Amino acid sequence: MFRLDGKVVLISGASRGLGWGMAKSLAQQGATVCLNGRDSKTLIARSNELKEQGFQAEVVPFDVSDTDERERAIDALLKRLGKIDVLIANAGIQHRSDIENFSDADFQKVIETNLTGVWALAKSVTPSMRTNQSGRIIFTGSITASLGRATISAYIASKGGVHALARQLAVELGSSGVTVNVIAPGYFATEMNQALMSDKNFNEWVCGRVPLARWGTVDEIGAAAVFLSSDEAAYVNGHVLTVDGGFSIAM
């Protein structure tokens, strides 16, 4: 069960953090993982790391917010490999500021990457998935889509939009054999959260709030991606799979 042999998976934001954790798990289950990001050098290093372990990996560098660049890259990938079975739209950024000092430009930058970029990727892969009458689209959401936190208004707005978009697309694409789901992580030990992890008070707060009493590791996000990508998840559609160690259910 849960093998992904023969599946082609495109993962945005795959060079580090949660995207890299998912890429490793998917490759281990037999998928050909197509690593996307803006830094070709880093992507090549990650791809080589997987290939050295006997796994299948491709490098697909492009900026998700650049329409022409994205379309060219995805068209080239489809011509080269013939299909994209799974899209994991994971690329995201963060900006922290109180609302009074949050600039319009910074707000738009977060929305453009975290929400518009996700929508655009789904748009780009949908035609081939409809043609094949099969596909998996997975968005990286967040527990903050339903839990508020100070200073991250753009991030929360973007992730709330991602969760809503997944429900809408699950309805729109379901009859074509395409499922759309969300993985909503809690607090994971990633590069994006390094400053928070280094803050003694914040680290103690996270560990005290999470019933498992620790941060998640990037390797622990992979199993959720494997499940939602697999044939066994064929009837799971429009679902938000929370992976947070119990953070969101604790008082």
- The sign one gets for the Cα dihedral 103, 108, 109, 114 is positive
- The sign one gets for the Cα dihedral 85, 81, 223, 240 is negative
The first and second tokens of residue 168, run together, are: 């809408």
Scanning the structure block, which residue is given the tokens 């929370």?
242
Q: Give 73's contacts (C-beta < 8 A, 6+ positions apart).
A: 36, 60, 61, 62
Backbone phi and psi for residue 47, each to the nearest 5 degrees, phi listed first: -60, -45
Are 28 and 9 in contact, with CB atoms under 8 Å apart?
no
Are 218 and 17 in contact, with CB atoms under 8 Å apart?
yes
- The per-residue DSSP string of 67-130 comes to HHHHHHHHHHHHHHHS---EEEE---------GGG--HHHHHHHHIIIIIHHHHHHHHHHHHHH
* Residues with a known catalytic role: 155
Query: How many other C-beta atoms lie within 10 A of the C-beta of residue 154?
Result: 25
